[in-house]
Structures are given as C-alpha cells and as structure tokens.
Structure 1
C-alpha cells in the first residue's frame, strides 16, 4: 500500500483536498440555508441540483477531455468550482444556489474523471486493486475531515466558504505539477439500461434506491440535524459517523461477499440498514440513537453499492463488465436526483424524522425486493465462479467504476483450479 501511495502521492493529496472542499460545501449549505430561512423543500431542490450536474458531467466530460485534453479541462473546471464556492454567501437565494450546485456537481464530476483516469494509468495490474482501496480511503477521510472544519468555524460568516475555494484551488497544484504526463483518455461505451436490467433486475433496482439514500446522506443530513435542533458540532459528528462506518464496514462486508451467496447478503444488509433507520424514526430525540442509526445506514448502504456491482458481474461475461458500470451509475444517478426532492417533501409533511422514514423505506424495499427476486430466479453462478468483491465508493464516476471492473476481471483470471481467487 505504501508503494502505491509513493507512486501516486500527488494524486492522492490533491484528491484529499478536493474531497474536503466538496464535503464542506455540502454540509455548509444545509446549515447556512437554515440560517437564511430557506424552506426544507427549497434546500432539497438545492441539494438535488448537485446530482443533476454530476449525472450530466459523467456523460459529457469524457468527450470534453478527448477534444481539449486533461490539463485544460482540469484548470477550467477547477476555476469554476472556486468561483461558485465564493459566490454562495454573496448570492443568498435558492435559485442562485440551485444553479451553483448544478455547476458544482458538473465540475466536481469532471475533475474526478480527469484525476481518476490518471490513477488508472498510473496503476499496474498488480497494484490496481490497492490503488482503488487507497483512493476510497482518501475520499472518505476528506469528507470526514471537512466535518471537523465545519464544527470549528462560523456558519453565518464567509470564512467557511473561502476555505473550500482555497483548498480546491490548491488541490490542482500537486497534480498538474507532477512529472507524470496525463494519459490518453478512453472510456467504454456503456450498455443500454435495458441490457443492464436484463442482466440483474435486483442490482438495478437496488442502485436506483441507493441513489436516493446516498443523496439524503450527502445533501440532507445537515438539514435534518438543523431541523431537530442539533448543534453544528453534533451535526458534524453525525455526518462523520455515516462515512466512518462506511469505510470501516466496506472490507468486512466484502470479505463476506466472497464467501456466501451475494443475494442473501444483499437482502440482510438492506434489511439491517432499514432497521437502523427505523430506530431513529420510532425513538426520536435521542442523540446517541441518531449517531448509531447514521452509522448503521452509512455502514450498510455504501458497501451495498459495491456489492450490487459485484452481484451484477456474476451474471455477465468478462467482456461486458466494464460496459455495465456506466448503466449502473446512470441508474444510481437518477435515484440521487430524485432523493433530496422526496425526502424534503417528507420532512415538510412529517417533520424532520421524515428523513429516517425515507431511508428506511428505500433500504427495506431493496431487501424485500431481493426476497421476491429469489423466488423468480435461482443463482446461475456457484460460489466458486462468482467474481471477487472490490471496494467502490458511492461517489464513483465512470472512470472509477471501470477501474473496479478491471480489478474484477483481473482477479477472476487469477482464480485457481479450486475456485479460490487472490485477495484484492
């Protein structure tokens, strides 16, 4: 792992600062919007706009890179991010923030795609799995560190908006000044949505539902905390608990995934995540339970994302795995766009605890749909034939998804005669 970091330290350092900036602006807008008197629905629209921009960028940034190159795309998108972050406290209107979030979502996705293509190019077949795991750790660490920064500043002032702008600007220095040249960009044409659904209806349904869960965690958790009267420090700890649990439980769940029927594991993890949400919904007002529920939902939903990708690959030919990732990400993005809008509507109608009811419904629905699917199709792959699990963050772009698919393919090729794959 150290050797992987030493070879791509500039990328990891730059991505760490980028994730701090992104994690700051998500939580900060939820807190500042409440101070400015934004309604819950207005904030839900603002939060949803990020995922709309992210989804469009995942489709159009690859073509932009092919036309003008990595460096120009990197610099242009980074400048736009810094500008929008500074403008947030100047243009304090829901419509302005919504437009800003669309731009921010588009630019962050484009920046991730550009940097992640370099990660893929810098990794060999032997180190790609470790690089992917280290990249996910850096992502989660950046988001968690951002919550600590929020807890130390004044949400009603300007400093907390300037800090992410500066961090984003500085993040490009170690990457662009690196001696390694930017790679030639190539991406796999995604499978059609119909083809992906035919391969695994459960995975597609789960990806759509998880999009709503992720959007609620990333965009609306700070809004929820404000509505129930938590302090800024308590909200920061709550958001941190979601991502720390996601990181800690990713690998144990991955270990189980390679040793048991994945559909059974999907069902149990989904039901556990739904039960964790119901705890906070049925027993409101207890901060300890809020932290526990946040950790349960974060620790189940994020590994479930990677688990559903691995489950889909169990039903695909090796040459189709990379193409399927684009379809799955698009389905997840659609769910993410609608998630904040629905949870905002539920919080307006049911109160702040509508946040927990929303995540409970989505997670439980995935589990129950998995039970239904188990009556419709028996497993076509034996445990020995299933592809190995690879940890993937829920904030993935098409590049990271394709890197993960390469890890799957390479690991499958290393499966020995007794069906035992080398650990990722």
Structure 2
C-alpha cells in the first residue's frame, strides 16, 4: 500500500509540474503575441497596458471563489475545465480582430490560469514530503520559469501573423491534459472546509503574504521594465533585452539550491537571506549597470534570490497549513499575486519618471526592505514561541 501511494504521488508530481509548465509556455507565447499585434494595428500603449493587466485582474477576482467552487465541483473537473477554457480562449484570439472580444478572451485566459495554478500548487504542497518539500517546490518554480522563458522564443519560429501561433499555443495548453491522464481519477480531495477566510490570511501569515506581493511586484514590474531601465542608462537595446534573460536564468538555476537550503536549515532564516539579496541587488544595480563583468552575475544572483522568497513562502505554507486551510491559503496567495501584478508595474513606472534614472531599482529596494523587516519580525516571534 505504501509503495502504491508513493507511485501515485510521483505521478501526481509529474502531472502538476508538466501541466503548469505547458500552461506557462502557452501564456508566454500568446501574451506577447497579442501585444505585438495590437501595436501593429495602431493601438496605444495605454490600451496595450490595460490588456496586459487583465490576467492579474482575473487572479484578483477569481482567487476568492476557487476554494468554494472546488468543494462543489471537484478538483479534477476544475482542472480539466481550466485547460479547455484556456485552449478555446487562446484559439479564439485568431477568430476576430474585435478589441472587446479580445478583452473578454484575456479575462477568460486569466480565469483559467487562476484555477490551474491555485489547484496545482495546493495539490503539490499536499503530496510533497516534508523532508524534501523545499526541493519539490523549487523544481516546480524552475520548470514553470523555463516555460515562461521558452514561450517568446517560439514567436521567432512561428511568426506573429495569422492563426498558426494561436493554434500552436492552444495545442500546447491541451498537451497538459496528457499529464492529467497519468493520474487517472486520482485527483486531490480538496473538499474540506477551511477554519478561516482568505481575508484573514494576511493577519495569520504576514511573511507569506509579503513574499507573494514582493515577487508579484518583481514579476510584473522589474522583469517588464528592466530593458527600459538598461536603455535609459546607456545600454544598447540588444544588451538591455538580455538583462531580463539573466534574471530568468537566476530564477531557473538557483531555486533548487535554495530549496535544498530550506530542507536543511531554518526556513525563516533562508527566506530572510533571500530578501537581503533582493535589497542588496537593487541597491548595487545602478553602480554596475554599465559594467558587464559585474552586471551579469549580479542579475543572476538577484533574480534567483528574489524569486527564492516565493519558493520558500510556498514551502512554509505547505508546512503550516493542511486540509481545507491549504487551498484557502493558496487562494489568498493567488489574490495577493493579482494585487501585486496589477499595481506593481504602475508604481515602478511612476518611480522611473519621478526619480530619474534609478527610480525602479530604488523602489524595489524599498519593497525588499519592507519584506526583510516582516521576515525578521516573524523570526523573532518564532524564537520567543
């Protein structure tokens, strides 16, 4: 029986990681594609930016209702439904040029994203063993980041015109269904009720909440604005674009070592260390932005360290919350992620205009410092307890 359960858990781990990676590839292919096509058709950057904010808005709106819907419908039907909705919505982007239709479709894609990611992360934490939880979550984050990094590369092969890119993106989403076929009908039972609400989660778990907001801010603003920051500070356009690639490389390469540290040492100390890396990286960036031998290693370490805060936050969440509380905690994290992704780019963009030319890294340094204070406070309380 124990061996059978172990095999089922391994199949589930493979299914979750494969499905989320496929969704990441598809999203990172279709989202820039929509922006490029809108720009070619003469839409302003304000409309394009609004379109780009819709997935974050979907997370913000959908996350509070996912736990209740999962209890009623079941996790398996919710996961299959999210795949079908995402695939159809992405394919439908090629049916019409109507901008209002595209806005509706992007909301549907964001909704399917919210369902898939929230249930998958709950499932992952539910089956992860405590001894290797850090490494398991790290593999998940690294694989998902690989997916997001690979999607834009496909645009170079598929082009940005016609129906083909959208059809391929839709098929990539549906390929995640093969991962779910591996587990048969052994989807997680997430029907237990939680002992608290999503909105009380911030008070219960301030460190996890702060880490989520921080990395959503990083993902939505720093990754987006870093090439602009590089150009404004004298980098050639080609090199400025590669700065984002260096950050992503850090996200991919350093999560497993960070997960290993989380399995060996006090997890609050590890997440605190990641936050300090975030502060230092943001403060050092203005001094090395034109020094390639210093810039590239800094970006790799900085990107890996900042995203490491979210990796450890998920690890701690799976360690602390169980049963129905776990999906409520994951839904709360999804809502916070939507909030950070929605307002982060606006805040960083304004900072770049007000404090020229280093407003973006200074704003992020302040955000990281706030997180470090929250993590340090959590460490003090846990020592007293």
TM-score (norm: length of structure 2): 0.73
Q: Is the Cα contact below 8 Å between 2:348 and 2:360 reproduced in 1? A: yes
Tell me the residue number matched to 2:382. Answer: 381
Matches within 5 A, 1:312-323: 322=326
One of 146, 150, 154 as aligned partner of 1:149: 154
Question: Structure 2 residue aligned with 1:247, among 247, 252, 261?
Answer: 252
**What CA deviation, in whole Å up to 9, does each residue of 1:271-315 have, x standing for no partner?**
1231355358x65xx99988667545422321122345678999x
Deviates more, 1:15-24 or 1:221-230: 221-230
- Relative to structure 1, the CA distance from residue 63 to residue 78 in structure 2 (aligned partners, 3 Å threshold; closer, same or farther) is same
Residue pair 1:54, 1:102 contacting (<8 A) in 2 also: no
Instruction: Return the match for 2:91 from 86, 97, 118.
Output: 86
Which deviations, in whole Å up to 9, do the C-alpha atoms of 1:208-267 show, x marking residues without a partner? 343222222566678989999856x985x5544333211222244456663684585255
Distance 1:256 1:132, change over 3 A: closer
Question: Which residue of structure 1 aligns with residue 367 of structure 2?
Answer: 365
Q: CA contact under 8 A between 2:56 and 2:337: conserved in structure 1?
A: no
What whole-Å deviation, never above 9, does each CA across 1:165-217 have from its counterpart, x for those lacking one? Answer: 111122213414643532322364555646634764x6645543432222225
Structure 1 residues 289 and 318: CA distance shift in structure 2, 3 A = same
Does structure 2 conserve the Cα–Cα contact (< 8 Å) formed by 1:123 and 1:131?
yes
What residue number does 2:67 align with?
A: 62
The alignment status of 1:49 with 2:54, answered yes or no, reads yes
Q: 1:97 to 1:130 in 2, by over 3 A?
A: same
Structure with the bigger percentage of helix: 2
Q: 1:17-416, aligned counterparts within 5 Å? A: 17-92=22-97, 95-116=100-121, 119=124, 131-176=136-181, 178-186=183-191, 188-190=194-196, 193=199, 196-197=202-203, 200=206, 204-205=209-210, 207-216=212-221, 230=237, 235=241, 238-254=243-259, 258=265, 261=269, 265=273, 267-275=275-283, 277-278=285-286, 283=290, 295-307=300-312, 322=326, 326-343=331-348, 357-367=359-369, 370=372, 379-382=380-383
Helix, strand or coil: the match of 1:380? Answer: helix
From the superposition, tell whether residues 60 and 218 of structure 1 become closer, same or farther in structure 2 (CA, over 3 Å): farther
Q: Mind listing any 5+ residue stretches in structure 2 that lack a counterpart?
A: 1-5
* 2:250–2:300 contact (8 Å) kept in structure 1: yes
Check 1:78–1:189 CA distance in 2 against 1; reply closer, same or farther (3 A cut).
Answer: farther
User: What is the aligned-residue RMSD (CA, Å)?
Assistant: 4.6
Match of 1:14 in 2: 19
Matched position secondary structure for 1:42: helix
Determine the C-alpha separation between the residues in 1 that align with 2:163 and 2:231: 19
Go from structure 1 to structure 2 and tell me whether the alpha carbon gap of 1:299 and 1:13 turns closer, same or farther (over 3 Å shift).
Answer: closer
The answer to whether the 8 A contact 1:263-1:311 is kept is no
Stretch deviating more after TM superposition (221-230 or 89-98):
221-230
Q: Give the superposition deviation at 1:121.
A: 6.1
Match of 2:190, SS?
Answer: coil
C-alpha change, 1:39 and 1:266, in structure 2 (3 Å) is: same
Q: Kindly indicate whether the alpha-carbon contact (under 8 Å) linking 1:40 and 1:344 is maintained by their aligned counterparts in 2.
A: no
Q: Report if the CA contact (8 A) 2:278-2:368 is conserved.
A: yes
Distance 1:71 1:342 in 2: 38
The equivalent residue for 2:3 is none
- The answer to whether the Cα contact below 8 Å between 2:278 and 2:365 also exists between their aligned partners in 1 is yes
Tell me whether 337-346 or 49-58 shows the greater mean CA deviation.
Answer: 337-346
In 1, Cα distance between equivalents of 2:112 and 2:144? 17
Give CA-to-partner distance per residue, 1:66-95, whole Å, 9 cap, x none: 323344333433222122212335544655
